């Protein structure tokens, strides 16, 4: 019998934060802005159908960890994604909390926001506990960066027993080759890959 990959789903939005998405951000992923309308469509559908939405934020500082070795922007002279640190970006006319979710996708009251200090959304976070409390079995994953935090989340979630669904037009990267390799790898061994339209159409039939 085949697995229902969309049974009891939640939408997980990974690292769509000012310091990754906004223009001129220290670790800007320009491609992430392309995914905003796609993620907005999924958010609208999940909210209208009263399905859970979970946001995950990467946070750093003030103490150095091993992950800083590969991301010098985390150091005190830049303070990428430090809690409480504010930054002005060229595409907005105000200072924003650098680790916060971008305004275009901002959480609504009652939606979960989970902070993490590593790549996987599950590592040393309360994500698994939240999903268990909501009786979630399937995750619809969007966000950035495809081959780093998104992929690590998908792999980790599969090992925890979740049915991982990666939204191909809802994830983004600064490296097209690694982006495509991740989609192929997830499809081969870790979960399912679909467009947002395909996900919404399948969930409408439930």
Domain extent listing, the chain: 9-58+101-204
Of the pLDDT bands very low, low, confident and very high (cuts 50, 70, 90), residue 61 is confident
9-58+101-204 fold = Rossmann fold (3.40.50)
Residues in the chain: 206
Of the pLDDT bands very low, low, confident and very high (cuts 50, 70, 90), residue 93 is confident
- Summarize the confidence of residues 110-126 as an average pLDDT: 97
Is 128 tagged catalytic?
A: no
The mean pLDDT of the chain is 97
Catalytic entry in 15, 19, 31, 152:
15
- Summarize the confidence of residues 58-68 as an average pLDDT: 92
pTM of the model: 0.97
- Summarize the confidence of residues 118-140 as an average pLDDT: 97
Catalytic entry in 19, 79, 116, 152:
116
pLDDT at position 49 is 97
Q: How far apart are CA 71 and CA 51, in angstroms?
A: 35
Q: Is 44 a residue whose pLDDT tops 70?
A: yes
Q: How far apart are CA 165 and CA 158, in angstroms?
A: 10
Q: Which residue has the tokens 């969007």?
A: 142
- Summarize the confidence of residues 172-196 as an average pLDDT: 98
Is 15 tagged catalytic?
A: yes
Of the pLDDT bands very low, low, confident and very high (cuts 50, 70, 90), residue 206 is confident
Of the pLDDT bands very low, low, confident and very high (cuts 50, 70, 90), residue 186 is very high
Q: How far apart are CA 206 and CA 73, in angstroms?
A: 44
pLDDT at position 1 is 56
Beta-carbon contacts of 34 under 8 Å, excluding residues fewer than 6 positions away, are 172
Cβ(57)–Cβ(115) below 8 Å:
yes
Strands (E), 92-172: 95-97, 112-116, 138-144, 163-172
Pull the structure tokens for residue 64: 């150095």
Q: What is the DSSP letter of 99?
A: T
pLDDT at position 57 is 98
pLDDT at position 3 is 87
Is 149 tagged catalytic?
A: yes
Nearest to 170 by CA among 192, 142, 202: 142
Pull the structure tokens for residue 36: 């905003």
Of the pLDDT bands very low, low, confident and very high (cuts 50, 70, 90), residue 197 is very high
Nearest to 56 by CA among 162, 128, 160, 135: 128
Residue ranges of alpha helices (H) inside the chain are: 18-21, 30-34, 36-48, 127-133, 151-159, 176-185, 196-204
Helix or strand holding residue 126 (H, E)? none
Catalytic entry in 79, 98, 149, 152:
149
Count CA atoms closer than 13 A to 120's CA, side-chain side. Answer: 16
Q: Is 18 a residue whose pLDDT tops 90?
A: yes
Of the pLDDT bands very low, low, confident and very high (cuts 50, 70, 90), residue 114 is very high
């Amino acid at each position: 019998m085949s697995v229902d990959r969309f049974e009891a789903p939640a939408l997980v939005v990974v690292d769509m934060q000012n310091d990754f998405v906004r223009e001129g951000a220290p670790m800007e992923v320009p491609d992430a802005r392309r995914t905003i309308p796609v993620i907005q469509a999924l958010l609208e559908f999940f909210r209208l159908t009263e399905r859970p939405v979970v946001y995950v934020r990467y946070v750093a500082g003030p103490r150095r960890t091993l992950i800083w070795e590969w991301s010098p922007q985390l150091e005190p002279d830049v303070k990428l994604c430090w809690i409480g640190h504010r930054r002005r970006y060229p595409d907005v006319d105000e200072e924003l909390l650098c680790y916060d979710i971008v305004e275009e996708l901002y959480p609504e009251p009652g939606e979960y926001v989970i902070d993490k200090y590593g790549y996987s959304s599950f590592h040393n976070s309360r994500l698994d506990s939240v999903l268990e409390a909501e009786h979630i079995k399937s995750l619809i994953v969007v966000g950035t960066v495809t081959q780093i935090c998104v992929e690590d989340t998908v792999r980790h979630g599969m090992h925890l027993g979740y049915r991982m669904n990666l939204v191909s037009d809802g994830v983004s990267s600064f490296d097209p080759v690694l982006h495509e390799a991740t989609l192929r790898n997830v499809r081969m061994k870790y979960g399912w890959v679909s467009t947002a339209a395909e996900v919404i159409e399948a969930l409408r039939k439930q």
